[in-house]
């Protein structure tokens, strides 16, 4: 028997149950992991609430973790018992002490990166990689607006954007988060709870607007974000922290300057092992070069996933968060 977090109904954090589960032995192409650290991500909230529904309930939860391989199924030749590995693209069910997972979903963790760091950065770091290097390829001199700059994805993205030579405008929801965003390298910081972020962006850019907006806040910021873009700018809406973005007419994009609009997910950019490996390698290289520092800002016991979810949704967390199995 092993411990895992599951939910039987969609709802608030309290639907998460810490339970005994049977793990079994890995079938062909799979491995069994003893997990050492588990990444907490906002997408876990969408899974729990049913915004992103599951095929069946009850369901496990979580897409990211690090651990040690303790058993290997038939046909797995490139991994060994004792290897340290991590994953950040699921499958769902990472909130667990032990689990079985397809071998092609994991990546070896480089020696210089700890398990806690790996578990805290795979999903958010690979997301940053595809957003700023592939969805819109950020160039030196670009001006970028990044919402929720002191969050998990935000803290990695601000550092990486700096390394690419962009000017970064970050939004945050408190003074404490403004200090964090500044320390990560934001050139301009806007508290979007107390300031009109559209007006501030206009002031900062002398009315011209930014090349690209990365908006994971969703409903509350989407329309304002469109107004922050320069002519033919790119709007990347990649999350729903405040709720999903309502439908819009394409003509709106015309009226606001022939804008490009995209709504990407990690699955579109890291859906194959090759794409995932390339993305993770770029991330590990950026961390090794010192361009990105990975700090775990909050750590909870796996049995206390309910509190971790409450804090994440209440906007109490900054940077990355992990859950630790007992």
Nearer to ligand NDP, 39 or 233 (CB): 39
Nearer to ligand NDP, 167 or 298 (CB): 298
Min separation Cβ 309 and ligand NDP, Å: 11
Per the structure block, which two tokens stand in for 316?
């109490």
Residues 82 and 53: beta-carbon distance below 8 Å: no
Min separation Cβ 324 and ligand NDP, Å: 18
Min separation Cβ 271 and ligand NDP, Å: 11
Give SS3 for 32. Answer: strand
Burial class (CB in 10 A: 0-12, 13-18, 19+), 10: middle
Min separation Cβ 154 and ligand NDP, Å: 5
Nearer to ligand NDP, 27 or 183 (CB): 183
Min separation Cβ 304 and ligand NDP, Å: 18
Q: Name the closest residue to ligand NDP (Cβ).
A: 151
Min separation Cβ 189 and ligand NDP, Å: 10
Give SS3 for 52. Answer: coil
Residues 90 and 20: beta-carbon distance below 8 Å: no
Min separation Cβ 256 and ligand NDP, Å: 22
Distance CA 273, CA 265 (A): 16
Nearer to ligand NDP, 254 or 307 (CB): 307
By CB under 6 A, name the binding residues for ligand NDP.
41-43, 123-124, 127, 148, 150-154, 172-173, 177, 216-217, 220, 238-242, 264-266, 313, 315, 317
Strands (E), the chain: 2-7, 16-21, 30-40, 59-60, 65-72, 84-87, 98-102, 107-108, 143-146, 167-172, 188-191, 210-215, 229-237, 260-262, 296-301, 320-324
Residues 32 and 71: beta-carbon distance below 8 Å: yes
Distance CA 56, CA 122 (A): 26
Nearer to ligand NDP, 222 or 284 (CB): 222
Nearer to ligand NDP, 76 or 322 (CB): 322
Nearer to ligand NDP, 124 or 211 (CB): 124
């Amino acid at each position: 028997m092993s411990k895992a977090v599951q939910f039987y109904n969609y709802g608030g954090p309290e639907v998460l149950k810490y339970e005994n589960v049977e793990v079994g032995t890995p079938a062909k192409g799979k491995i069994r992991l003893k997990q050492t650290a588990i990444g907490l991500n906002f997408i876990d909230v969408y899974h729990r609430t049913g915004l992103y529904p599951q095929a069946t309930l009850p369901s496990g939860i979580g897409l990211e973790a690090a651990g040690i391989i303790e058993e290997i199924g038939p046909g797995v030749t490139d991994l060994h018992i004792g290897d340290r590995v991590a994953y950040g693209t699921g499958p769902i069910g990472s909130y667990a002490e032990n689990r079985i997972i397809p071998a092609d979903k994991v990546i070896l963790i480089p020696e210089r990166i700890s398990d806690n760091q790996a578990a805290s950065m795979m999903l958010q770091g690979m997301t940053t990689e595809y957003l700023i290097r592939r969805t819109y390829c950020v160039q030196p001199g670009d001006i970028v607006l990044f919402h929720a700059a002191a969050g998990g994805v935000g803290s990695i993205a601000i550092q990486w954007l700096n390394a690419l030579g962009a000017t970064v405008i970050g939004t945050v929801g408190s003074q404490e988060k403004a200090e964090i965003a500044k320390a990560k390298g934001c050139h301009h910081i806007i508290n979007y709870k107390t300031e009109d972020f559209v007006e501030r962006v206009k002031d900062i850019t002398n009315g011209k607007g930014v090349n690209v907006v990365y908006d994971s806040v969703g409903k509350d910021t989407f329309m304002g974000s469109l107004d922050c873009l320069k002519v033919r700018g790119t709007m990347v809406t990649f999350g729903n922290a405040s709720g999903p973005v309502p439908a819009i007419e394409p003509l709106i994009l015309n009226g606001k300057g022939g804008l490009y609009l995209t709504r990407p997910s990690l699955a579109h950019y890291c859906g194959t092992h090759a794409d995932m490996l390339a993305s993770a390698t770029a991330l590990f290289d950026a961390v090794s070069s010192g361009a990105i520092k990975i700090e775990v800002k909050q750590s909870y016991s796996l049995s206390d996933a309910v509190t971790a979810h409450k804090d994440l949704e209440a906007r109490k967390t900054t940077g990355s968060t992990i859950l630790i199995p007992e």
